[in-house]
Structure 1
Amino acid sequence: MKEYQLNVDPRILELLGPNLYTNIYYVLAELIANAYDADAKNVYIIANPDDIRIEDDGHGMSYDKGDITKYLNIAGVSRVKEADSFSKSGKRRKMGRKGVGKLAALSVSENVDILTVADGEKSGFVLSRHPDEGSKLKAISESDITFEHVKKHGSAIVMRNPQYRLHKTLSAVKRNLLKIFPLVNADFRIHVIRGKETVIVNDFDKNVMSELGTLITLGDEYSPLTKLVPNPYPKRRSDLVSSAGEKAIPRVMMGNDGIEHEYTIKIAGWIGTYKTTRGRKAEMSDFPDNFISLFANKKMGEFNILPVVGQNKLNEVYVVGQLHVDIFELTELPDMALSNRQGYKSDDPRYVAVLDYVRKELLTEILKKREVFTDIANAGKKQKKQDEQKGNEAKLRRNIDAYRKRASEEAADDLFKLGSDLSREAIEKAISDSLNKNSPDLGLKSVIDSQKKRILISQTSPDKSFADIIYQMLIYNNVSAEDILYTNCDDEVCRVPEGKGVYEYLRDFFVESYSTQKIFVLFVTSENTKMSWGAITEIGASWITQVDHKIFNVHPFKPEHPLNNDLQWQNTNREEPTKGELWMIPLNADVFCQKIEAVCDAFGYKKNERSVNKAHLGTLISIRNS
């Protein structure tokens, strides 16, 4: 008679099992990973009315050879040295390490049937949150050990009366699995089955490429993906899609032997942005469509680092990526994965280095590509709008010229008829009457004024993070994005059309315009300003066209003429002169809000109360006493 001894205090199953995983798909990922480590070529996820069954055609487990005893050693470390890192065939690098993934199924069901066959030897038992006395698990008789797809070798995990269910459509199940388990190919297939319906899970990265507008690949393995991204703008292809080698970051780290060694953190994979977020079906909502996942040894370690590395920018809703960092699972280094495989230890130097790279370089680069994509896509529409504005400007110019000619001619005729001995009052009245009679020709001016930008945020690219705060505070105070001209804005509506410059826009619609409306300029100045010819030129161009301006300055820079530096400017601090974290003292936070509110007053926008604005500003930038 076979006995199945669980080598762990049974309380761990009740306490840990149900709370270890928060999503059915994370559970499936663990079970699929176990199948992968067993050299399976096929995994079958079968959704039955009363259970969810996971079968695989891996090696299976032999009771006689001690495989099951090893399996039931909960939290037994499976990888101690590099030789332990490979599967039995030696062809696959193992995903498992902690020995707790087998508990994943207990997050779904109180009782889970474990069925296995190895070289014809069948074994089976019930893994339970409440084992019998002595940690004994109930054996399943050999006659009851049956499989739907496995024959000579393999295993089945049967989660009976599951507390969670798979999505009602298999296409959604497929998409969710792809997001968290991308390692599927001809040598390893995942089949999802419900009744007579079956879908086969294929590569997520290949599946999603057709939805992207931009892409960056890292490493030779992923560079072929660039060919799968649509090419609607062939002349600008290199600006939208690019390949690079693996990112290599050297780090000195302490190994499990207690000795420091020099390692290289290699980052491979891809990151891109969707062409659009429209049309995303509700059934795909088990996981968000915008994410950056981290994988090690092809197994997901953290689904989404975007909330950590992002800055809540509008364009981040389009971002999707999968990055592979195998050193996260290097056997000779400490285990950095959390117990539920849903994240990493936040202070591990490998994790910190990867986040820093993604935050400062990779995410910034792909968002720039996204800006180019939207500018190209909307260039025609924006150009049409500007052409309409130019047409109106030309019409206004003709109307004004004709008005002046006609008014002066009529005034002269009237004066001639009245004689030359008129009083000054009579002459002024005659001219006034003529002007009033012809004034309807100027009705187009109000149309042109309404089409113009009202506010210009003048800044350098290195100061974008500060300019973004100004922009967000304007939007928070009910300023329309369409009224703002901001060349580095994440919102495409604020930028001039692709191929156009801010100077050309200012010349066409403010310098050479017959419309008298001017633009309100918010100057962002810092040590970066004097190093940027573009910024200096923009200051000059906008100075000519501005009706008023406010200065938002980064200490220790001091604004100079032609800016009105006699009046109080707003000061913000930065950890380093040209880069680093921004922060304000309470006084400068108050001045910041005061200037934003003054802009609102100038154009009649409905501003918020000062206390509300200061509270919101505190969510965008650090406010501290010193």
Structure 2
Amino acid sequence: MKEYRLNVDPRILELLGPNLYTNIYYVLAELIANAYDADAKNVYIISNKDDIRVEDDGHGMSYEAGDIAKYLNVAGVSRTTESGSLTKSGGRRKMGRKGVGKLAALSVSEDVDVLTVANGEKSGFVLTRQPENGHDLKAIQDDQIVFERITDHGSAIIMRNPQYRLHKTLDAVKRNLLKIFPLVNANFRIHVVRGKEEITIEDFDRSIMGELCALVTLGEKFKQLCDLVTDSYPERRGDLVAARAMKAIPITMRANDGKEHEYSLEVLGWIGAYRSTRGRKAELTDFPDNFISLFANEKMGEFNILPIVGQNKLNEVYVVGQLHVDLFELTELPDIALSNRQGYKSDDPRYEAVREYVRSDLLADVLKRRETYTDIINADKKKKKEDALKGDEEKLKAAIDAFRKKASADAVDALAALGVKASRDAMENAISQSINTNSPDLGLKSAVDSQKKKILISQTYPDKPFADIIYQMLIFNNVPPDDILYTNCDDEVCRVPEERGVYDYLREFFVESYSKQKIFVLFVTSENTKVSWGAITEVGASWITKIDHKIFNIHPFRPEHPLNDEMQWQSTNRDRPSGDLWMMRLNADVFCQKIEAVCDALGYKKMAREKNMSHLGTLVSIRNA
């Protein structure tokens, strides 16, 4: 009779089993990786009423050949030499290293059936958090070893009464799996089965590349991905899509032999930007759609470094990428992965080098390409809107001219009816009455006003971090981005139309206009204001046109006339040399008060003070003293 003995202190199962993984998809990724290491061509994830089953058509494990004894040697290092880093077929590099991935299923179920067949030899046992007599596992009889999809070779992991479930739709399951295990193709397919429903995952690239508007690839292996990005603007394709060479970063590391060696840290993969995020929240999945994942030996090591390398910019919501750094898993170097395989050790020089490269180079590149795409698609839209606004201005002008003619004619008729001897007061009253009667003809004015920008954030580029806070607080208070004119905004809709000068734009629609609506200006003032000709010009223009404004000032600068320096301004501090912004609690309250006052003046539905203070605290440091 076959005996199955677990070669590990059983207490580790109780400690690690329920806590090793925090998400069922990470568990599935480990089981899929085991199938990959077994040279499987197909993996079947079968969601049944009382269990979740993962089957694969890999080599399977032979009891007689010692495969199962090796499997039950938990935490036994599986890769110590380069030759030992390859799978049995020699065609794949092994993903597993720590030997604890087999415990993944215990994060989902207290008892897990392990079934396997190799060349017709069946074996089975129950992996449990509490083995009998400390180490012994219950055997499963051969007649109870039944597979749903495989025959003479392969394995099955059955998680009984799972504590977690897959997403209710198979499409969402597919999206989750592709994010953490993208290595699918004709030679390695994942099949997800629920009842009579089944979906096969065999092509990662087309499922996501078609959603991108910008892409940067690294290395020849990923170059062909560029062809899968929709060619909407052929004349600008070079600005949107680029195939780069692999990035090689020289690095010195201490190997397991204790000696320091020079290595080339090679980064391959891709980073892109979605065309739109619209509709993505309709079907919630367990992972965000914007992420930058790190892989080594084709296996995901960390799902998302975007919060670490990003700068919390609004357009980072469009970013997605998968980077491969096999040096992370080089056998002769120390293991960089955390025990739960859901991240890397943050102080490892390899990890630090990759983070810095992504932060300073890759992320900035793809964000610039995303902005270019936004400029392109909005150029025509903005031109049409601008033309429509000009057309309405012409209609308004014509209406005013018609009004004047009609008012004059009516005045003459009124004077004739009164007689030449009518008094001056009578004539003035008649003309006034005619004007009042014909005033409704000017109803087009409201249509012109409705298409205009309502708020101008006047600032200098060095003060952009503070201006961004004002912008985000306006958005939080239900001000549409399309109503804001902010020349350095990350959102293109707020910037001046392409190939238009900001002052020409302002003059055309806010000075030389029949409409009387005036833009509301939010001035960001600091020591930088004094040396910015543009900022000084905007201050002068606001005084000449008597425009309403609010002042948001960075200490120690003091706003002066022609700004309304008698009015209370908001004061913010900036540390040197870091440039970090912060506010006293009173000044934070004044900040919120001014944002709310702008909303009141322009008719926006403002948020309550408590919510505004709370949200402001996520954007800038608020100190009590």
Query: Is the pair's TM-score, using the shorter chain for normalization, greater than 0.5?
Result: yes
- With over 3 angstroms needed to count, the CA separation of the structure-2 counterparts of 1:398 and 1:66, relative to structure 1, is same
> Residue 201 of structure 1: CA displacement?
1.6
Other-structure match for 2:591: 592
User: In structure 2, what residue type is equivalent to 1:41?
Assistant: K
Query: Is residue 506–residue 545 contact of structure 1 (8 Å, CA) maintained in 2?
Result: no
Deviations 1:63-119 (A, max 9, x none): 445433332121223334555433344443321122110011222333323333445
> Residue 244 of structure 1: CA displacement?
3.0
Q: Distance in 2 between matches of 1:223 and 1:561?
A: 58
Q: 1:87-236 maps to which residues of 2 (within 5 A)?
A: 87-118=87-118, 122-142=122-142, 144-145=144-145, 147=147, 150=150, 153-167=153-167, 169-193=169-193, 198-236=198-236
> Residue 384 of structure 1: CA displacement?
3.3
User: In structure 1, what residue type is equivalent to 2:96?
Assistant: G
Query: Is residue 178–residue 202 contact of structure 1 (8 Å, CA) maintained in 2?
Result: no
Q: Quote the RMSD (CA, aligned, Å).
A: 4.0
Q: Distance in 1 between matches of 2:576 and 2:268?
A: 31
Q: Distance in 2 between matches of 1:504 and 1:443?
A: 27
Query: Is residue 60–residue 118 contact of structure 2 (8 Å, CA) maintained in 1?
Result: yes
Deviations 1:411-449 (A, max 9, x none): 7898899779967x6675565455445434433333322
What is the percentage of aligned positions where both structures have the same residue?
73
Query: Is residue 218–residue 268 contact of structure 2 (8 Å, CA) maintained in 1?
Result: yes
Other-structure match for 2:619: 620
- With over 3 angstroms needed to count, the CA separation of the structure-2 counterparts of 1:543 and 1:339, relative to structure 1, is farther
Q: Distance in 1 between matches of 2:218 and 2:173?
A: 28
- With over 3 angstroms needed to count, the CA separation of the structure-2 counterparts of 1:361 and 1:541, relative to structure 1, is farther
SS at match of 2:13: helix
SS at match of 1:217: strand
Other-structure match for 1:549: 549
Of 304-313 and 55-64, the range deviating more from structure 2: 304-313
Query: Is residue 53–residue 159 contact of structure 1 (8 Å, CA) maintained in 2?
Result: yes
Q: 1:207-356 maps to which residues of 2 (within 5 A)?
A: 207-248=207-248, 256=256, 265-280=265-280, 285-309=285-309, 315-356=315-356
User: In structure 2, what residue type is equivalent to 1:457?
Assistant: I
Query: Is residue 6–residue 73 contact of structure 2 (8 Å, CA) maintained in 1?
Result: yes
> Residue 618 of structure 1: CA displacement?
1.3
Query: Is residue 376–residue 498 contact of structure 1 (8 Å, CA) maintained in 2?
Result: no
- With over 3 angstroms needed to count, the CA separation of the structure-2 counterparts of 1:180 and 1:436, relative to structure 1, is same
For normalisation by structure 1, the TM-score amounts to 0.84
> Residue 177 of structure 1: CA displacement?
1.9
Other-structure match for 2:387: 387
- With over 3 angstroms needed to count, the CA separation of the structure-2 counterparts of 1:69 and 1:173, relative to structure 1, is same
Other-structure match for 1:16: 16
> Residue 306 of structure 1: CA displacement?
4.1
SS at match of 1:20: coil
Q: Distance in 2 between matches of 1:474 and 1:331?
A: 52
SS at match of 2:136: coil
> Residue 514 of structure 1: CA displacement?
1.8
Deviations 1:216-243 (A, max 9, x none): 3233322211211112233332333333
Q: Distance in 2 between matches of 1:615 and 1:167?
A: 33
Q: Distance in 2 between matches of 1:464 and 1:551?
A: 15
Q: Distance in 2 between matches of 1:533 and 1:90?
A: 68
User: In structure 1, what residue type is equivalent to 2:16?
Assistant: L
Structure 1: which 5+ runs fail to align? none
Q: 1:454-465 maps to which residues of 2 (within 5 A)?
A: 454-460=454-460, 463-465=463-465
User: In structure 2, what residue type is equivalent to 1:623?
Assistant: I
Q: Distance in 1 between matches of 2:259 and 2:36?
A: 32
Other-structure match for 1:75: 75
SS at match of 2:18: helix
- With over 3 angstroms needed to count, the CA separation of the structure-2 counterparts of 1:433 and 1:300, relative to structure 1, is same
User: In structure 2, what residue type is equivalent to 1:339?
Assistant: S
> Residue 8 of structure 1: CA displacement?
1.7
Other-structure match for 1:472: 472
Other-structure match for 1:377: 377
> Residue 484 of structure 1: CA displacement?
1.8
Q: Distance in 2 between matches of 1:530 and 1:516?
A: 30
Q: 1:414-563 maps to which residues of 2 (within 5 A)?
A: 429=429, 432-433=432-433, 435-460=435-460, 463-491=463-491, 493-498=493-498, 500-525=500-525, 547-554=547-554
Matched, 1:583 2:582: yes
Query: Is residue 175–residue 284 contact of structure 1 (8 Å, CA) maintained in 2?
Result: no
Query: Is residue 478–residue 605 contact of structure 1 (8 Å, CA) maintained in 2?
Result: yes
SS at match of 2:521: strand
Q: Distance in 2 between matches of 1:608 and 1:282?
A: 25
Q: Distance in 1 between matches of 2:539 and 2:250?
A: 42
- With over 3 angstroms needed to count, the CA separation of the structure-2 counterparts of 1:444 and 1:109, relative to structure 1, is closer
SS at match of 1:320: strand
Query: Is residue 275–residue 318 contact of structure 1 (8 Å, CA) maintained in 2?
Result: yes
- With over 3 angstroms needed to count, the CA separation of the structure-2 counterparts of 1:486 and 1:9, relative to structure 1, is same
Structure 2: which 5+ runs fail to align? none
User: In structure 2, what residue type is equivalent to 1:447?
Assistant: A
> Across the two proteins, how many residue pairs are aligned to each other?
624
User: In structure 2, what residue type is equivalent to 1:471?
Assistant: Y
User: In structure 2, what residue type is equivalent to 1:87?
Assistant: T
Q: Distance in 2 between matches of 1:571 and 1:226?
A: 48
For normalisation by structure 2, the TM-score amounts to 0.84
